[in-house]
Amino acid sequence: MSVELGHFALILAFALSLVQASAPLVGARLGNGRLMQIGEPAAITGFALITLAFAALMLAYVQSDFSVLNVWENSHSAKPLLFKLTGTWGNHEGSMLLWVLILSLFGAMVAFFGSNLPPSLRANVLAVQGMIASAFLLFILATSNPFARLQPAPIEGRDLNPILQDVGLAVHPPLLYLGYVGFSISFSFAVAALLDGRIDAAWARWVRPWTLAAWAFLTGGIAMGSYWAYYELGWGGFWFWDPVENASFLPWLSGTALLHSALVMEKRGALKIWTVLLAILTFSLSLLGTFLVRSGVLTSVHTFASDPARGVFILAILMLFIGGALALFAWRASALAPGGLFHPISREGALVLNNLLLTTAAATVLVGTLYPLLVEAVTGDKISVGAPFFNLTFLPLFLPLLLAMPFGPVLAWKRGDLVAAAQRLHLAFAVAAIAGFMVYFLVDRATAFAAIGVGIGLWLVCGAIADLAVKAGAGKVGPVVGLRRLWGLPRAMKGTALAHAGMGLTVLGVVCVTTLEAERIVTMQPGDRVEISDFSLRFDDIRPFTGPNYSEEQAFFTLFSSGGRQIGEIVSSKRFYTARGMPTTEAGIETLLLSQLYISIGDATSAGGLVVRVWWKPMVTLIWLGALVMMIGGTVSLLDRRLRIGAPKASPKRRLATAGEGG
C-alpha cells in the first residue's frame, strides 16, 4: 500500500514539475506576478511529494518487502538495519530517486530563502529547476521505476552488493549528489540571467553561496569516496583516475573555477560572460557524469548500443539541457555588458590564471576520459587512457596553479604589487624551502620530487597562514590585539585561507604517500615476522568468525616498534557474503599520528601460509583531512554575513563597517 502511495506521489511530483517548469516562465515573460508566484508552492510541494516517495521506498527496504522488485534485487532480511536504510540508494533506481530528491530539495530552498530575489529572476530559476526535475522524474517513471512489484513475492532477497555494505554508502552518495545537483542552482541562475538578459554583481552575490555549498559538499563527497575505496579495495590506493572518479572530479574542477570567477564578478563586475558560461558548463559536466555512469557507455560503446533505453534517455536529457543552455548562451551572451578593467598583476589577474589552469585541467581530464569512446566509435580500435596519461598531463597544469595560489589572496584588486605580495609571503617561502631541503637531505629514499612536493604543500599552508597574519596586523600590533583582529576578520577571508591550507595538506599527503610509501608482499606462517619501515609486524593466527550475513576469516597481527615495544594489534580479514557468494577484504589499518600501517590478506598457500600485503603509508590521512579542512573553509565562507542566504539587508552601520572587506 505505502509502495503504491510512493509511486503515486512520484507521478504527482512529475505533473507538478511540469507546472513549475512552465507557469513561472510564462509569468516572467508576460510580467504576470500571479503566474510567477506559482513557482514557490510548486517547488516546495514537489519536494514534499518526492520526500514521500523516497520514504515509501525506504520503508519497503526496512520492512524487507520482497514483493517490490527493487528491494528483492538489492536487499536481504538478515542485513543490518543501517544497510537496509542506505541500501535504498545502493542501486540504480534508488540512487536516481535520491538524485531528484536532492534536486527538489535545492529547488525548495530557493523558493524558501529566495524572498530577496527579484521576482522575475526567482520565477525563471524555479522554472529551470522544474524543467530539470520533470526530465529526470520522467526518466525514473519511464525507465527506472523503483516501485515495480513482483508477483508472487519471493521469501528472501538477493542481498546488497557486499562492497556497498559499508558506512561509506551512508555518506558518500548523498554528499556527492548534494554537490553534483547543487550546481543545478548555479546553472538555473545562469539560464535565468540569460533569459532576462540582465546580469550584475548582485546576481553573482546570489549565485556564490549556492556554488560554495555545492562545492563544499562535492569536495567532501569525493574525499569520502576516495577514503572508502582506500580502505575497502585492499591495496590502499586513494585515486585511480577511473572514468567513474573522473566523472565526479570534472564538476569539481570547473566548480572550483566558477567559485573564483564569481568572486571576480561580485567584487569587480568583470568576467560576467565567462562566469555564466562556467555555471552552465559545471552542471553540464555533472549531467555528463550521470550519463557516463548510468548508461553503461564506459564499459564499451557496444554495451551501450545493445541496451539503449536508459542510456539514450539520459543522452537526450543531456543534449536538451546542455545544448539548450549553450544555444541560449550563444544567442544572448552578447547582451551582457562586459565590465571591470584590471591590470594583469592583480587579484583579478590571479583569479583569471586560476580559471585558465583549472579549465585546461578539466578539459584534459574530460578528453582523456572520453577519448577511448571516441576512437572506438570512429575507428573501431580500442585504446586505453589511464593513470599514467592523467598523471603526466594533469600535474604540469596543477603545479603552476599551486605555486600561484598563495599570491591570489595577498594581491590587491585592480592593480596589485607583486613585490609587496612577495614580501608578505617571504616567511612562508622560507619555511617551505627549508622543509624541502630537509626532506631531501634527511629523509631516506626521498627524491627531488618528494622534496619539491613537500615544499609546495607547506608553501600553500604557510602562505594561507601568512595571508591571515598580515591581515590581522602581525608585527604591527601586540599579540592580544592581533588575535582579536584575527578573530574579527571577515569569515570569507578565513574561509579562503582554510580552503587553501586544506589544499596544501592534501598535497602534502599525496606527495608523502606516493614518494615515501613502503610495501612488503610476503607469505607468512603464524609466528612469522615482517619488517617494514621502522616497524616489525608479527602474524599471530587466523580464526573464523560469523557475521549477520557473512562468514569471515580474521587474521590477527601484532605491531612492534624497532625497539621491540608493542604498539598495537591489527585485525585484517576476508569475508564471504553467502547470499551473493561474493568475497570482500577488510583491510587492517593502524593509524599512527597522521600515517597508517595497512594490512591486506590474500589467499592461503598450500603449505599453510598466508599471503600478506603490508604497506607503510606516511602522512596518508592528510589527503582526506585536507579535504575536510577545505570543506570547513567553504562552510566558514558560506557563513559570511555578506553571503548568508536570505539574510535581511545589513544595517547601514554594518554596511559601512564591512565596506572594505576583501574576499
* 248 binds other proteins, rule: CB under 8 A: yes
Residues in the chain: 663
* 50 binds other proteins, rule: CB under 8 A: no
* 474 binds other proteins, rule: CB under 8 A: no
* 582 binds other proteins, rule: CB under 8 A: yes
* 25 binds other proteins, rule: CB under 8 A: no
Q: To the nearest 10°, report the CA torsion of 254, 631, 369, 186.
A: -40
Of 177 and 189, which has the nearer Cβ to other proteins?
Answer: 177
Question: CB 129 → other proteins: shortest distance, Å?
Answer: 21
* 542 binds other proteins, rule: CB under 8 A: no
Q: Which of 17, 188, 573, 584 binds other proteins (CB under 8 A)?
A: 584
Q: How far apart are CA 133 and CA 46, in angstroms?
A: 9
* 243 binds other proteins, rule: CB under 8 A: yes
Q: Which of 154, 548, 583, 608 binds other proteins (CB under 8 A)?
A: 583
Of 38 and 247, which has the nearer Cβ to other proteins?
Answer: 247
* 298 binds other proteins, rule: CB under 8 A: yes
Among the candidate windows 209-217, 381-389, 435-443, 484-492, which touches other proteins by CB under 8 A? 381-389
Amino acid at 467: D
Q: Which residues inside 75-104 make contact with other proteins, applying CB under 8 A?
A: 90-92, 95
Q: CA-based Rg of the chain, rounded to a whole angstrom?
A: 27
Q: Which residues of 32-46 are buried (b: 16+ CB within 10 A; e: fewer)?
A: eeebbbbbbebbbbb
Q: How many CB atoms lie within 10 A of CB 323?
A: 11
Of 162 and 436, which has the nearer Cβ to other proteins?
Answer: 162
- Which alpha helices (H) appear in 443-520, and where do they start and end? 448-471, 479-488, 491-516
* 557 binds other proteins, rule: CB under 8 A: no
- How does DSSP assign 423-453, residue by residue? HHHHHHHHHHHHHHHHHHHHSTT--HHHHHH
Q: Which residues inside 168-227 make contact with other proteins, applying CB under 8 A?
A: 168, 172-173, 176, 180, 221-222, 225-226
Question: CB 480 → other proteins: shortest distance, Å?
Answer: 45
Of 341 and 477, which has the nearer Cβ to other proteins?
Answer: 341
Of 351 and 464, which has the nearer Cβ to other proteins?
Answer: 351
* 337 binds other proteins, rule: CB under 8 A: no
HSE-up (13 A, CA, CB side) for residue 452: 8
The candidate with the shortest Cα–Cα distance to 552, out of 591, 525, 588, 520, is 588
Instruction: Work out the angle at residue 483's Cα, subtended by the Cα atoms of residues 481 and 484, and round it to the nearest 5 degrees.
Output: 65
Classify residue 616 by its DSSP letter: E
* 344 binds other proteins, rule: CB under 8 A: yes
The candidate with the shortest Cα–Cα distance to 491, out of 630, 625, 633, is 633
Q: Which of 24, 289, 626, 634 binds other proteins (CB under 8 A)?
A: 289
Question: CB 106 → other proteins: shortest distance, Å?
Answer: 18
The contact pattern for other proteins, residues 599-638, with x = CB under 8 A and - = no contact, is: -xxx--------x-x-------------------------
- Residue 635's alpha-carbon distances to 135, 212, 496, 609, in angstroms, are 31, 8, 10, 50
* 275 binds other proteins, rule: CB under 8 A: no
Q: How many CB atoms lie within 10 A of CB 642?
A: 18
